[in-house]
A and B are shown apart, each in its own frame.
Chain A
Amino acid sequence: MKDITLDVNGKQHKVSVDPDMPLLYALRDDLGLNNPKFGCGLAQCGACTVHLDGQPVRSCVTAVSDAEGKKVVTLAGLGTPEKPHPLQTAYIEEQVPQCGYCINGWIMTAATFLAEKKRPSEAQIKQALEGLKCRCGTHVSILKAVKRAATMMG
Chain B
Amino acid sequence: MTKFEKPASFSRRSLLKSTGALVVSVGAPLGLDALLAIDKARAQGGKPPLMPDQLSSYIAINGDGTVAAYFGKMDMGHGLFVAIGQMVAEELDVPFKAVTVFMGDTATSVNQGGASGSTGIQFGGKQMRMAAAEARRVLVDMAAEKLAIPADGLTVTEGVVHAKADAARKVSYAELIGGRYFNVQLDWNKQWGNTLYAPGKAQPKPHTAHKIVGQPIKREDVAPKVFAQEDYCTDIKVPGMVHGRMIRPPVAGAVPVKIDDSAVRDIPGLKVVHENGFLGVVANREWDAIKAAEKLKVEWSNTADPFPEQATLYDHIRKAPVRKAQIDQQNGNVDEAFKTAARVIEAEYEWPFQSHASMGPACALVEIKDGQATVWSGTQKSHFVQQGVAATIGLPVENVRVIWKTGPGSYGRNDADDCAADAATLAKAVGKPVRLQYMREQGTGWDPKGPASVHKVRAALDPSGNVTAYEFMTKAFSRVDVDTNGSKPFDTLSGQTRGVALKSGDGFGVPAESYAFANKKMGWETIPPLLDRASPLRTSHLRDPVGPQIHFASESFIDEVAAAVNADPIEFRLRYVKDPRDRALLEAVRDRSGWQSRPSPRGDQTGTKAAGRGIAYSQRNGTRVAIVAEVEIHRQSGKIFAKKFTVAHDCGQIINPDGLVKCIEGNIVQGISRTLWEEVAFDRKAVTSVDWLTYPILDITETPETIDCVLINHPELPPTGAGEPSIRPVAAAIANAIFDATGVRIRRVPFSPERVKQALS
Contacts and interface: CB of A to CB of B under 8 A. Distances in A.
Given A41-B440, A42-B440, A138 B701 contact: no
A94 to B, nearest CB: 9
Contact of A38 (B78, B360, B691): B360
Interface in B668-717: 668-671, 673, 691-693, 697-701, 703-704, 707
Nearest to A82: B227
Contacts of B699: 130-131
Contact of B228 (A18, A47, A74, A137): A74
Interface in B21-52: none
For A18, A40, A97, the residue with the greatest tally of chain B CB atoms inside 10 Å of its CB is A40
A20 to B, nearest CB: 9
B409 A136 contact: yes
Contacts of A152: none
Interface residues of A, number: 58
Interface in B314-337: none
Contact of A37 (B79, B232, B290): B232
Interface stretch (B150-158, B216-224, B632-640): B216-224
Contacts of B704: 140
A91 B286 contact: no
B701 A98 contact: no
Given A97-B225, A103-B225, A29 B662 contact: no
B665 A141 contact: yes
Interface string B67-86: 00000000011110000000
A34 interface: yes
B410 interface: yes
B731 to A, nearest CB: 14
A42 B445 CA distance: 15
A143 interface: yes
B285 interface: yes
Query: Is the interface on chain B under 10, 10 to 19, 20 to 34, or 35 or more residues?
Result: 35 or more
Given A34-B231, A98-B666, A133 B697 contact: yes
Contact of A34 (B232, B408, B691): B232
A70 interface: no
A97 B77 contact: yes
Interface in B398-417: 406-411
A88 to B, nearest CB: 5
A60 B508 CA distance: 40
A129 interface: yes
B700 A143 contact: yes
Nearest to A126: B701
A140 B703 contact: yes
Contacts of A142: 700
Nearest to B659: A95
A31 B745 CA distance: 55
Interface string B221-240: 11101111111101101000
Contacts of A84: 226-227
B77 A136 contact: yes
Contacts of B670: 135-137
Residues of A contacting B: mostly: loop
B658 interface: yes
B532 to A, nearest CB: 31
A137 B359 contact: no
Pick the most buried of B226, B439, B700, B707: most chain A CB atoms within 10 A of its CB. Answer: B226
Nearest to B440: A40
B437 interface: yes
A47 B360 contact: yes
B667 interface: yes
A55 to B, nearest CB: 19
A81 B665 contact: no
Contacts of B669: 137-140
Given A98-B662, A99-B359, A138-B665, A41 B700 contact: no
Interface in B189-233: 218-219, 221-223, 225-232
A111 to B, nearest CB: 12
A95 B287 contact: no
Given A101-B409, A140-B669, A140-B707, A134 B228 contact: no
A135 B253 CA distance: 29
A44 interface: yes
A4 interface: no
Interface string A16-53: 01100110010011001111011111101101000000
A28 to B, nearest CB: 8
B358 interface: yes
B228 A35 contact: yes
Nearest to A94: B222
9 contacts: A37-B360, A38-B437, A40-B440, A42-B691, A47-B360, A80-B227, A97-B77, A99-B406, A134-B700
Given A76-B228, A98-B78, A99-B407, 10 more contacts: A25-B286, A25-B287, A29-B285, A34-B232, A38-B360, A38-B361, A42-B440, A91-B222, A135-B357, A135-B670
Interface of A: 17-18, 21-22, 25, 28-29, 32-35, 37-42, 44-45, 47, 74-76, 79-81, 84, 87-88, 91-92, 95-103, 107, 126-127, 129-143
